[in-house]
Amino acid sequence: MKKRLAIIGSLFTIMLLLAACGDNSDGGSESADSNAVWERIQDAGKLVVGTSGTLYPASYYPEGSDELTGYDVEVIKEIAKRLDLEVEFKTSDFSNAMASVQNGRVDIAANDIEITEERQEQFSFTEPYKYSFTSMIVRKDDLSGIHSLEDLKGKRAGGEAATNHSKIAEQLGAEVVAYNNAANDVYLRDVDNGRTDLIINDYYLQSLALQAFSDFNITIHPDFKFDQITQGALLPKDATELKKQMDNALNEMREDGTLTKLSEKFFGGADVSKEPEENLPTVKELLEEQK
């Protein structure tokens, strides 16, 4: 009898040990999944980044140069440097950059990317390194006939498919004229010549675009500033350790003034790395006011 009890006790102990091992394995698997992207990057010694190369001043090639630069580009270069990684940029349009993060062709995407709830369902983001709001470029002489939000109905808005700004244009009743990774001058010239009527985009980008193409008949609409936005690098959804490492580097850059210096370099002295104090209405609030 004692022998039987001893055998049963031993079997019970083995079952407990197996159960414990099973629990640890599950936890280890979850940890492995969250660390996998970071470990692969460390093994390669390189961070592969999707970006457009056509969006001044976030990601672009200066005239006469084949070296990519811009605010997002230099922020990512500095993060990689602090993580002891090389960095490789692969250029494509915005939709392809996001798809490339999902299929593993690139590790992250960085291209003035707005952090939205919808995108957070599929992706992770670093802490924001840019704060801004949305504005609207129109023709200078007649504001493209837009004097209220209702006037946007039927207007043609230049934009890239799948961007949040194109979705806003559609919400406001405009028809989106889609471009495939076109440079800023193409968008702006089409507003100037009447092919399109407006461009909805980031305020700081639009301000710099106006300076760069001052001969165009375009301006930022004085009456429409809305939707405070935050922007950061886009990561795979489960890349928990990669996000942690990048956020640590970003926090160091914020504290030692590196982000401010990069911002002032690319945004005409403005510090876009700090959250603005001004509160602006959302698109939803503007649409409700219009009813």
The pLDDT tens digits of the residues spanning 22-36 come to 343 343 333 446 799
**Shared domain check, 143 and 162:** yes
Any domain includes 286: no
* CATH code for position 82: 3.40.190.10
Question: Nearest CA to 245 among 72, 28, 41, 30?
Answer: 41
**Shared domain check, 84 and 214:** no
Quote the CA–CA distance of 241 and 32 in Å, as a whole number. Answer: 10
**What is the value of pTM for the model shown?**
0.78
Any domain includes 207: yes
And the tokens for 216? 């165009």
Any domain includes 27: no
Quote the CA–CA distance of 183 and 209 in Å, as a whole number. Answer: 11
- Provide the pLDDT for residue 25: 38
- Provide the pLDDT for residue 173: 93
And the tokens for 259? 């982000």
**Shared domain check, 246 and 125:** yes
Instruction: Give the bridge partners for 125, in sequence order.
Output: 234
Quote the CA–CA distance of 121 and 148 in Å, as a whole number. Answer: 33
Radius of gyration of the chain (CA): 24
Domain, as residue range, for 217:
132-228
Residue where a domain terminates, one of 228, 247, 276: 228
Any domain includes 9: no
Any domain includes 3: no
- Provide the pLDDT for residue 33: 62
Please identify which residue in the block is written with the tokens 């992706």: 123
And the tokens for 261? 């210096």
Confirm if 135 and 227 have CB atoms less than 8 A apart. Answer: no
Q: What are the mean pLDDT values of the chain's consecutive 10-residue runs (291 residues total)? A: 40 36 38 79 98 94 95 98 98 89 96 94 97 96 95 94 88 92 89 97 92 95 92 97 98 98 96 88 80 65
Cβ neighbourhood burial of 104 (10 Å; 0-12, 13-18, 19+) = exposed
Question: Nearest CA to 59 among 211, 176, 147, 181?
Answer: 181
- Provide the pLDDT for residue 90: 97
Quote the CA–CA distance of 269 and 272 in Å, as a whole number. Answer: 9
- Provide the pLDDT for residue 4: 40
**Shared domain check, 221 and 136:** yes
> Distances in Å between the alpha carbon of 216 and those of 146, 205, 267?
18, 16, 20
- Provide the pLDDT for residue 291: 65
Any domain includes 171: yes
Quote the CA–CA distance of 13 and 7 in Å, as a whole number. Answer: 10
φ, ψ for residue 218 (rounded to 5)?
-140, 155
- Provide the pLDDT for residue 234: 98
Query: pLDDT tens for residues 218-235?
Result: 999 999 998 899 999 999
**Shared domain check, 236 and 125:** yes
- Provide the pLDDT for residue 284: 82
Question: Nearest CA to 113 among 186, 183, 52, 199?
Answer: 52
Helix axes 203-212 and 184-193, enclosed angle (nearest 10): 80
Count of other CB atoms within 10 angstroms of residue 122: 12
Domains held by the chain: number: 2
Quote the CA–CA distance of 202 and 131 in Å, as a whole number. Answer: 10
